[in-house]
Structure 1
């Protein structure tokens, strides 16, 4: 019996271990995913509501985090471009949502090499409405994310973010809703 415990102890001592990932520092990367529940509402008389088909997204982000014990918090800038989709239900040609820019605050917990966090954002969506180009709407978003770090330099992750955005103009308001689910890869430096 003592021989068995001694062998188990010797085996455990020879297994390489790694320290928990350090999530502090700057990072940058790219993302791709899906945008859904895309909608433009033009609150004028008559009321106009355009719903768009789900579409692919691709983007880039840059941020910084600080780790204090297991608590991790930070900020990030992210830009997502929305791909074209010919199946849109918008009855007016030229109406579209082209991009979403997010300024995010994040806070969560480190589970060693994994990170789970919540997101709040100030967001801006840009697009076109009818013949008016470069319409934009601003507002807030909320979501959640998770990441896994490989060594000191690389991580992969996923995020979900839903946004409610609005802009007033002379005839009424321009409202946009958008949800995104993205897969992300980042380099930490």
Structure 2
């Protein structure tokens, strides 16, 4: 019996030693502090189109009435102001487009002046727009309609293209109504 008691005591001591070695300190968890997350600012894909601009254009202009037509290279100057409402841009523009030696039925057409509104879609660095308004040639006022696109090279410089169609009623010495078509490459400084 002495052997059994000795074996029992050794087993209890061994178990206690084994358990004591595996005891680890209790883990104290620190509470997680919430982090404040600020909402991301809206992504601006090409800048704001709001502001004034002035520029130059070069292209081609053709004028015709019911019995005659002529075309010529053209040059122009323009200026305006746009307001960007997000993806919608609304603006106004004044333009003069001149041409050399443009004559239809003996009427010389030195140039066309235009006052236009334009409404467009802000596609980031590009602005695609429709335009319309009044056009003036040889003491006659008519209508102009067109479409165009401007592209930002930098925040202050754009290049673009514009097509315009004009219609004039009762131009002196013309044979019927006078219409014109023009296409121009444009460069503008924005401020």
Question: Which string of whole-angstrom CA distances, capped at 9 and with x for unpartnered residues, describes residues 3-61 of structure 1?
Answer: xxxxxxxxxxxxxx98522111000000010012x1245xxxxxxx3322x21000100
SS in 1 for 2:110: strand
TM-score by length of 2: 0.71
Q: Contact 2:46–2:152 (CA<8 Å) still a contact in 1?
A: no
Matches for 1:172-187 after TM superposition, within 5 Å: 175-187=177-189
Q: What number of residue pairs does the alignment pair up?
A: 149
Q: Which of 152, 159, 164 lines up with 1:149 in the alignment?
A: 152
Say which structure is richer in strand.
1
Q: Distance in 1 between matches of 2:184 and 2:68?
A: 23
1:59 equivalenced with 2:76 (yes/no)? yes
Q: Contact 2:60–2:184 (CA<8 Å) still a contact in 1?
A: yes
RMSD of aligned alpha carbons? 2.4
Unpaired stretches in structure 2, ≥5 consecutive residues = 1-42
Q: Distance in 1 between matches of 2:146 and 2:129?
A: 9
Q: Which of 94, 114, 122 lines up with 1:102 in the alignment?
A: 114
- Structure showing greater relative contact order (alpha-carbon pairs closer than 8 Å, 6 or more residues apart): 1
Matches for 1:132-171 after TM superposition, within 5 Å: 136-167=139-170
1:50 equivalenced with 2:68 (yes/no)? yes
TM-score by length of 1: 0.71
Unpaired stretches in structure 1, ≥5 consecutive residues = 1-16, 42-48, 127-135
Say which structure is richer in helix.
2
